[in-house]
Structure 1
Amino acid sequence: MPLTSGNRIVLGDINGQLQPVFTKLSNLHAKNSFAFAIVTGNLFSEDNDAVSDLLANKIAVPLPTYFTVGTTPLPARIIEKIEKDEEICPNLHFLGKRSTTKTSEGIKIVTLGGQLDDKIVGLSKEQHLPYHTVSDAKALHGSHTADILLTTTWPSLIRTGSKVPLPDGITDVEGQDHIADLSATLKPRYHFSVSPEFFFEREPFFHKPTPDAPEFRPLTRFISLAAHGNPSKQKALYAFSLQASVDPAAPLPPGATASPFYSRPNTKKRPTLDADSYSRYGGHDRNGHRHKRGNGGFRGERRAPGPDQCFFCLSNPTLATHLISSIGDDAYLTIAKGPLTTSDTYSSSGVEFPAHALIVPLTHSATIAQMPDEDGSREKTFAEMNRFKEALQSMISKGSANKLGAVTYEISKGNGVHTHWQFVPMPDETIRKGLVEAAFRVEAENHSYPAFEVRDPGVGQNDGDFFRAWIWTPPSEDNSEGSTKCITMPFDSQIRFNLQFGRVVLAKLLGLEGRVKWQDCAQTEDEEKKDIESFKAAFKEFDFTL
């Protein structure tokens, strides 16, 4: 369904004043016919009578209303409803603390609720507690764009270049760099936040044009709402409209300024996702993504999936984040779901956990070569992925006393979805005898694929589609540093390439043909958590992200 024009309304902290606020909203809705409402900040205060009345449908929510986590935890009974995937009450939808949502009318809302807890490493596990991490913010960079961005905290530098004064008695508001990076990356049309004591609306600001659209400067409006019932009677409601499309030739509004985030480092423009490429992407499911129907609700119809549904994007709210080991600046490391090797495969060599790992770029792109490269991010991503690969090799080398080498392989396919590398340990003897390289070449011949070449295409900028495998031999008496041989098979669109090719080759070499399909190797979440804890303990010494 296309994006439609119309009025929307956003509300500041409600703090449990459900009956009076929704009564007021109902009166406003009767006069203005809002498409939906958004609560940025705290909808609830505690698990009290107001929650009971809401759950008993004694409080009417007059129109589709979305909410997230603010500065207080959600009530236990609300969490229970959400975790059971049950309706809280008609018209009330939980966006999640870290989420990307598209409404039924096509509006994309990106949410990062809660306040920063810098003591937590990696992604936060709780969706209902009022804190988030820098990694949570980084994960949302993969959403590329947003019509609306909701954050509990302000971005740093937001008042730079602004002439809008703060109210008397308010000297400044502490903003945060990771929120500024997120806003600069997504370039939302509206960025809403909260400031309980006052209302603040900055002048609209424009972002730099891109090579793809040199005449278009995306515009963002930052608005922070006061809490309902605040003693100064500052504005706690804000009505706004979104046009069906953005006119790139439209003049900038009076008073607009340049983006205050120009000086922010590491902001990246993300590529869009090709819907057709996802339909060709095999070997992974998308279970767990919720669709809701109804006016203003989640879309029930099939649509082009975005990073919130991608199997490898950290912005996917259903991603198995408990499998993630480390998150860097440009890539992250996770152990494989349904791993080829198990905790028993190499236990005799001293590696008592599945060391089958994935190295995944944060940028959502079918290949490394297709990543935007305005700030050198292509080479930076490739370098960090190699750094993860080398760290894994060091871990395996030490853990096995050099009895194990490894194979890292990649499918670089222009109509893929999200490129990644798979790392699998291999017995040192198998590698030194040349059996790994021979196995890849024989399997290619069996499929009538092109022959392997001994070369490394790097980021693959001019190489088209290819399969690449790095075969690493661990250190020995003759070679104290070990060695790597890269073999690459180029192929074109006429080749129906088997996406399980690498796993098939290694499964045959290891006598694990029954584990070719990851779906056949599923583990319980408790088993996965046990494996990741063992993996993290072994990798900690080599983890450069800590």
Structure 2
Amino acid sequence: MASKIIVLGDVNGQLQPAFTKISALHAKNNFSLALVCGNLFSEDNDDVANLLSGNITIPLPTYFTVGSTPLPQRIIEKIDKDEEICPNLHFLGKRSITKTSEGIRIVALGGQLDETIVGGLSKEQYLPFHTIGDAKALHGANSADILLTTTWPASITKGSRIPLPDGVTAPLGQEHISDLCATLKPRYHFSSSDFFFEREPFFHNPTQDAPDIKPLTRFISLAPYGNASKQKALYAFSLPASADPTAPLPVGTTASPLFSKKRKALDPEPYSRYSHNDDRGYQRKRGKGHRGQRQPPPGPGECFFCLSNPNLATHLISSIGEDSYLTIAKGPLTTSETYAELGVNYPGHALIIPLTHSPTLALIPDDDNATEKTFAEMNRFRVALEKMIAKASGNKLGAVTYEISKGNGVHTHWQFIPIPEDLIRKGLVEAAFRVESENLKYPPFEVRDPGIGQGEGDFFRLWIWTPPSEEAGDGSTKCLIMPFDESLRFSLQFGRTVLAKLLGLEKRIQWRDCSQTEEEEKRDIEAFKAAFKEFDFTL
């Protein structure tokens, strides 16, 4: 079944006339939802007051993001309090993934590029600026029915025979928007400008998994509502529940003018209940009939480890690479005080996380060797952390890195924790893991590295790294693996529990019992980033 959708360009605060017009069109067409692809607001004016007081009616579920101007303060206050702005009006967030109750997948990246930020994510949701890291974070969405961006993609007019209106030039497109569109392959990509432009549909190259399917994208940029030149500011269309891969390409279709630097991200299935963090933030399913519906398992927009989750604690992130990123742990096992006497004045407990939303490394699709590249970069982060810890401590600290690889997991990751080198050299770390597994009647450990883990099934992997010393020479790494099957109720706290007991930190086994204030977390990440800077290959 198809959903009827209506899209508006910049409304620029003309709320009353715009929604009066939408109401009239909705009465005739019964749209499923409306989207605003530019500025909904302009300033904190009378229309904002009328909207908040209920004097402006929004006739159907309407979604908006940040455009090129800041949101009014009264609107921000409503959103911050998690209150309804008004019935039927939903803020998508500046960087977001939303699935409506009709099953329509909307990915939004509002604002213009802030070129003063060379890495990482923007820290707030309401100012009209984003970073390249924000765009990269949305690659994990894998796909989109509709992509909303304030900025045009670079090269979008290349190969098009459709002229621009007289006297105008195309807005300056951005490569990171092209890359996002090429990665997600949305069925529709909407933006806004001073004029209307609808490019011919273009197809993306097929993948190895689907060599006969050429995903189709339509790019449309809408003019401002009520513009003097009467350029098209409203666009209505029907979106089928799914694209028909066997349908012939429309007349005039061109090859994609875009180039993707990134491989296709993994489809988020399969899911399981994510027991690592039951109180994770999530983005609610919105639209008609959403109340009382059972929430689906977390997808990229809700996952505790996906950068596309608008509720992610981005202030804990240290570095973002091409295929993975590095963050310090929330509620860390080792704190800034644990090894302070050894010169480590920050929490050494860090997480290395793939950008792709995948339950295991082996399930990342291998387009353009993405699986190998992700594994290689994660190991590069691991080695860099080992060097950082060794230098800071004068080789008095080694490290343990562990991974739980489960096919019914949500988002795989590695946990890195510094360990005194004498515990490692005496064999106490390995012994602690073997004893705990025997006590729990888990399968025995094997000394081998399964690499990406293709064909392995479920397993717990452990790297034990010994730092360099005058007696033993260069540092060394020993890898152990514990294979297990679905019949084993494997504890996700196994690795942390073993190390907490070994280090005498039993009171810190549960990360929820180790909460910090945001101010303390920000102080920790600044100290961590300063120490890691010398070894950070992403800079």
Question: Which category of TM-score, normalised to the shorter sequence, fits these structures?
Answer: over 0.9
Matches within 5 A, 1:435-454: 435-454=428-447
1:297 & 1:317 partners in 2: Cα distance?
A: 20
1:293 & 1:66 partners in 2: Cα distance?
A: 9
1:257 & 1:456 partners in 2: Cα distance?
A: 46
How far apart are residue 294 of structure 1 and its match? 5.3
2:205 alignment partner in structure 1: 208
1:391 alignment partner in structure 2: 384
1:93 alignment partner, one of 90, 99, 113: 90
Give me the CA root mean square deviation: 1.6
Distance change >3 Å, CA 192–CA 299, structure 1 → 2: farther
Opposite residue 512 of structure 1, the aligned amino acid is: L
1:267 & 1:510 partners in 2: Cα distance?
A: 41
Q: What's the % identity of the aligned pairs?
A: 71
- Residue 382 in 1 paired to residue 375 in 2? yes
Preserved contact between residue 44 and residue 75 of structure 1 (Cα < 8 Å): yes
1:158 & 1:424 partners in 2: Cα distance?
A: 46
1:359 alignment partner, one of 338, 352, 358: 352
Residue 272 of structure 2 aligns to a residue whose secondary structure is helix
Opposite residue 202 of structure 1, the aligned amino acid is: R
How far apart are residue 496 of structure 1 and its match? 2.2
Preserved contact between residue 37 and residue 66 of structure 1 (Cα < 8 Å): yes
How far apart are residue 62 of structure 1 and its match? 1.9
Instruction: Between 433-442 and 26-35, report the one with greater CA deviation.
Output: 26-35
Preserved contact between residue 364 and residue 418 of structure 1 (Cα < 8 Å): yes
2:241 alignment partner, one of 219, 239, 244: 244
Preserved contact between residue 104 and residue 299 of structure 1 (Cα < 8 Å): no
Residue 238 of structure 1 aligns to a residue whose secondary structure is strand
Q: Deviations over 1:298-328 (max 9, x none)?
A: 8843224311111111111111111111111
Q: Deviations over 1:74-108 (max 9, x none)?
A: 01111001101111112111111000111121111
1:152 alignment partner in structure 2: 150
Preserved contact between residue 187 and residue 219 of structure 1 (Cα < 8 Å): yes
Opposite residue 414 of structure 2, the aligned amino acid is: W
- Residue 278 in 1 paired to residue 276 in 2? no
Opposite residue 307 of structure 1, the aligned amino acid is: P
Opposite residue 84 of structure 1, the aligned amino acid is: K
Opposite residue 17 of structure 1, the aligned amino acid is: Q
Q: Deviations over 1:172-213 (max 9, x none)?
A: 3321111111111111111000112x1000111112223333
Q: Deviations over 1:281-305 (max 9, x none)?
A: 4221243324366527688432243
Distance change >3 Å, CA 266–CA 543, structure 1 → 2: same
How far apart are residue 362 of structure 1 and its match? 0.3
- Residue 112 in 1 paired to residue 109 in 2? yes
2:343 alignment partner in structure 1: 350
2:9 & 2:414 partners in 1: Cα distance?
A: 44
Normalising by structure 1, what TM-score? 0.95
Opposite residue 457 of structure 1, the aligned amino acid is: P
Instruction: Between 202-211 and 430-439, report the one with greater CA deviation.
Output: 202-211
1:171 & 1:89 partners in 2: Cα distance?
A: 37
2:7 alignment partner in structure 1: 10
1:502 & 1:216 partners in 2: Cα distance?
A: 43
2:51 alignment partner in structure 1: 54
1:265 & 1:107 partners in 2: Cα distance?
A: 24
Preserved contact between residue 76 and residue 126 of structure 2 (Cα < 8 Å): yes
2:188 & 2:87 partners in 1: Cα distance?
A: 26
- Residue 400 in 1 paired to residue 411 in 2? no
2:426 alignment partner in structure 1: 433
2:292 & 2:210 partners in 1: Cα distance?
A: 29
Residue 172 of structure 2 aligns to a residue whose secondary structure is coil
1:306 & 1:402 partners in 2: Cα distance?
A: 41
- Residue 125 in 1 paired to residue 123 in 2? yes
Q: Deviations over 1:431-483 (max 9, x none)?
A: 11111111111112222222222211111123222211111111211345311
2:22 alignment partner in structure 1: 25
1:299 & 1:202 partners in 2: Cα distance?
A: 40
1:226 alignment partner in structure 2: 223
Residue 358 of structure 1 aligns to a residue whose secondary structure is strand
1:481 & 1:169 partners in 2: Cα distance?
A: 67
Preserved contact between residue 200 and residue 225 of structure 1 (Cα < 8 Å): yes
Q: Deviations over 1:327-347 (max 9, x none)?
A: 111100001111111222111
Preserved contact between residue 98 and residue 315 of structure 1 (Cα < 8 Å): yes
2:295 alignment partner, one of 288, 302, 307: 302
2:350 & 2:285 partners in 1: Cα distance?
A: 34
- Residue 313 in 1 paired to residue 313 in 2? no
Residue 390 of structure 2 aligns to a residue whose secondary structure is helix
1:436 & 1:451 partners in 2: Cα distance?
A: 15
Distance change >3 Å, CA 298–CA 83, structure 1 → 2: farther
Preserved contact between residue 64 and residue 297 of structure 1 (Cα < 8 Å): no
Matches within 5 A, 1:169-180: 169-180=167-178
1:291 & 1:370 partners in 2: Cα distance?
A: 27
Q: Deviations over 1:199-247 (max 9, x none)?
A: 0001111122233333222211110001123232110110111112222
1:298 & 1:535 partners in 2: Cα distance?
A: 43
Residue 488 of structure 1 aligns to a residue whose secondary structure is strand
Preserved contact between residue 291 and residue 299 of structure 1 (Cα < 8 Å): no
2:92 & 2:169 partners in 1: Cα distance?
A: 32
- Residue 188 in 1 paired to residue 186 in 2? yes
1:340 alignment partner in structure 2: 333
Residue 388 of structure 1 aligns to a residue whose secondary structure is helix
1:141 alignment partner in structure 2: 139
Q: Deviations over 1:369-428 (max 9, x none)?
A: 111112011111111111111111111111111111100111112221111100000001
1:321 & 1:538 partners in 2: Cα distance?
A: 19
Preserved contact between residue 93 and residue 108 of structure 2 (Cα < 8 Å): yes
Distance change >3 Å, CA 250–CA 457, structure 1 → 2: same
Preserved contact between residue 335 and residue 532 of structure 1 (Cα < 8 Å): yes
Opposite residue 539 of structure 1, the aligned amino acid is: F
- Residue 514 in 1 paired to residue 512 in 2? no
How many residues are aligned here?
Answer: 538
2:179 & 2:260 partners in 1: Cα distance?
A: 8
Preserved contact between residue 103 and residue 299 of structure 1 (Cα < 8 Å): no
Residue 159 of structure 1 aligns to a residue whose secondary structure is coil
Preserved contact between residue 425 and residue 466 of structure 2 (Cα < 8 Å): yes
Gaps of 5+ in 2: none
